[in-house]
Amino acid sequence: MAVGAFADRGADLELVGIEKRFPGFTAIENLNLTIPAGSFFALLGPSGCGKTTTLRLVAGLEEPTSGRILIAGADVTNRKSFQRPVNTVFQSYALFPHMTVLENVAFGLRRRKIAGPVAKAHEALLLVELDHLAHRKPQQLSGGQQQRVALARAIVNRPALLLLDEPLGALDLKLRRQMQLELKTIQEEVGLTFLHVTHDQEEAMTMADTIAVMNKGRIEQMGEPQQLYELPKTSFVANFLGQSNLFTGPVVSTTSTAIAVDVSGQKIVVPLERAHRVSGEVTIGVRPEKVILHAEAPVQDTGRNVLGPGRVIDVSFSGVSTQYLVDVPGVGTLVVFAQNMVFGPAAHVGASCWLSWNVVHGFGLDDDPAQSPRFEADLDTKTIAQQRRSSLLTELEEA
C-alpha cells in the first residue's frame, strides 16, 4: 500500500524469524507471527517480555537484528517508520504539546497531503466525542481525553495496521472499560487490523480475537481467548492468563481416552485430548473456579477427580465470589473460587475439606517440569552493568 492513500481495509502483518538483540540481552528470539487482515490481535505478556519491542519493530522505530517484516505482503523491513502504512497509539500518547488537539489530529493527513485535512480531523474527533475540545492544547485535557485524542490522531490516517502500545494503562478502571468497548467498536466499524500490546490479561481477553502470550522474547501460546484460558499449554500461560492450580507427577496409566497422574499418592485423571504430554513427569492443572469445595469426603465418581482432606487456610470475599486457599498435605496450596450462592462463606479458616472437579476440566501442560532457563546467562561484568543501567532507566521512566 502506498503511504499517500487511505487504506480501504486492514492489511496482513507477517513477522518472519525476527530477532532483536540489545547490548547485553536478547529482547526477541526467533519470532514468527502472522496477523490476518481485519483482526484484533493482542500481544500479552509481563513487562520486559519483548512485546513493546515487537511493536516498535513493526512501527519502524527499532531495527531487527535479523528477520523480515511484511505488511500486506510487502517487505517493509528496510523502510523507515514514516514510510510505513502503520500508526501507533503510544503508551505516553506523545501528543505534540505545541499544537492544538485539531492540529495534532491533522498532522499525519497534512504530511501525506490528503485533501481536506481539517474536515477529516474534525470527523475523527467526533468519533471519539472530543470535537468540542478541538482548539485546546493537549495539556488542558484529562488523561482519558488525551488518550482519545491519541487514538483519533492514529485512526484518522486509516492505517492498514494500527498499533496500540498499552494505551489504556494510565486510565482508571471505569474509563478503561469504556475505552475498551469504544476501541472494539471502532475497530469493527473501520475494519482495520489492530495490534494491541498489553500486560492486562483481562483487557486482552475482552478485546482481542486472538491473543499471543509472550514471555522472555518468545510466543508461548497463541489462540482465541477462550481456548487459551481453558487449555493453556505452558505453566506461564496457565498462571499469567488467570490463575491455575498446578500439580506435577508421573503418568501411571494411560487409556484410549485419558491419562492418570500420580500426585503425592492421589490419582488425578486428565482427558487424553486435553493433555499435551502423555508420558513421564507431567504438569497438570485445573482452574480455581472449576473446583468445588466439600465439607465431607465426596462419593467416589469416575467422572470427578478428588483431592483431600485439606485445610482451609484463607478465605477472602470479593463480592461475586469468595476465594479459598486450601492446603492439601503433600500436594500444596490450592486456590478455589466459589460463587456466592448463599450468604456467608461455605467454609471457615481451619475447617477441613475435600476438593473435586470434573475430569474434563483438567488440562495437561507441555512444559518439561525440569526445564532449563531459556536464555544463556550473560555473566561478564560489562553485560551486567549494562543490564542494570537499562533496567534503572526504564524504572526511572516509569516513575
Partner 1 sequence: MAFAAFSSTAPPPTTAPPPTTAPSTDPAARRRSPVALFLLLPGILYLVLFFLTPLVSLLLTSFQAPREFGDIGQYDYAFRWQNYVEVVTTYWPHIVRSFSYALAATFFALLISYPLAYFIGVKARKWPLLQSLMLVLVIAPFFISFLLRTLAWKQLFSDESFVVQTLKALSLMAPEAHVTGTAFSVIFGLTYNFIPFMTLPLYTTLERLDVRYLEAGSDLYASPFHVFRKVTIPLSMPGIVAGTLLTFIPAAGDYINASRDFLGGTGTQMMGNVIETNFLVLQNFPAAAALSIILMTVILVIVSIYVKRSGTEELL
Q: Which residues bind partner 1 (CB under 8 A)?
A: 3, 59-61, 80-82, 86-88, 90, 92, 94-98, 107-108, 111-112, 153, 157
In the complex, minimum distance from the CB of residue 80 to partner 1, in angstroms, rounded to a whole number: 7
What is the distance between the alpha carbons of residues 375 and 25, in angstroms, rounded to a whole number? Answer: 9
Decide whether 112 or 274 has the Cβ nearer to partner 1.
112
Decide whether 5 or 126 has the Cβ nearer to partner 1.
5
Quick one: CA dihedral 188, 207, 150, 82, positive or negative?
A: negative
What is the distance between the alpha carbons of residues 369 and 265, in angstroms, rounded to a whole number? Answer: 18
Decide whether 78 or 178 has the Cβ nearer to partner 1.
78
Decide whether 164 or 269 has the Cβ nearer to partner 1.
164
In the complex, minimum distance from the CB of residue 100 to partner 1, in angstroms, rounded to a whole number: 13
**Residues comprising the chain, all counted:** 399
Decide whether 117 or 249 has the Cβ nearer to partner 1.
117
In the complex, minimum distance from the CB of residue 169 to partner 1, in angstroms, rounded to a whole number: 15
In the complex, minimum distance from the CB of residue 384 to partner 1, in angstroms, rounded to a whole number: 18
Beta bridge partners of 87: 162
Decide whether 111 or 382 has the Cβ nearer to partner 1.
111
Contact yes or no for 53/218 (Cβ under 8 A): no
Decide whether 161 or 328 has the Cβ nearer to partner 1.
161
Backbone angles phi, psi at 394, to 5 degrees: -65, -35
Decide whether 104 or 356 has the Cβ nearer to partner 1.
104
In the complex, minimum distance from the CB of residue 104 to partner 1, in angstroms, rounded to a whole number: 9
- Angle at CA 249, nearest 5°, toward 300 and 264? 55
In the complex, minimum distance from the CB of residue 394 to partner 1, in angstroms, rounded to a whole number: 14
In the complex, minimum distance from the CB of residue 3 to partner 1, in angstroms, rounded to a whole number: 6
- List, in sequence order, every beta strand (DSSP E) within 90-224: 161-165, 193-198, 210-215, 218-223
In the complex, minimum distance from the CB of residue 7 to partner 1, in angstroms, rounded to a whole number: 13
What SS3 state is found at 107? helix
What is the distance between the alpha carbons of residues 222 and 115, in angstroms, rounded to a whole number? Answer: 41
Q: What do you get for the CA distance between the two ends of the chain, in Å?
A: 39
Cα-Cα-Cα-Cα dihedral of 223, 227, 231, 232, to 10°?
40
Q: Give 44: exposed, middle or buried? Use CB within 10 Å, 0-12, 13-18, 19+.
A: buried
Question: Which amino acid, residue 93?
Answer: Y
What is the distance between the alpha carbons of residues 70 and 287, in angstroms, rounded to a whole number? Answer: 38
Cell for 151? 487514538
What is the distance between the alpha carbons of residues 235 and 201, in angstroms, rounded to a whole number? Answer: 15
Cell for 97? 504539546
In the complex, minimum distance from the CB of residue 9 to partner 1, in angstroms, rounded to a whole number: 19
Decide whether 103 or 367 has the Cβ nearer to partner 1.
103
Decide whether 15 or 95 has the Cβ nearer to partner 1.
95
In the complex, minimum distance from the CB of residue 124 to partner 1, in angstroms, rounded to a whole number: 13
- Cβ atoms within 10 Å, residue 358: 14
Which strand (E) or helix (H) includes residue 305?
strand 304-317
In the complex, minimum distance from the CB of residue 37 to partner 1, in angstroms, rounded to a whole number: 20
Decide whether 70 or 94 has the Cβ nearer to partner 1.
94
Contact yes or no for 117/106 (Cβ under 8 A): yes
Which strand (E) or helix (H) includes residue 309?
strand 304-317
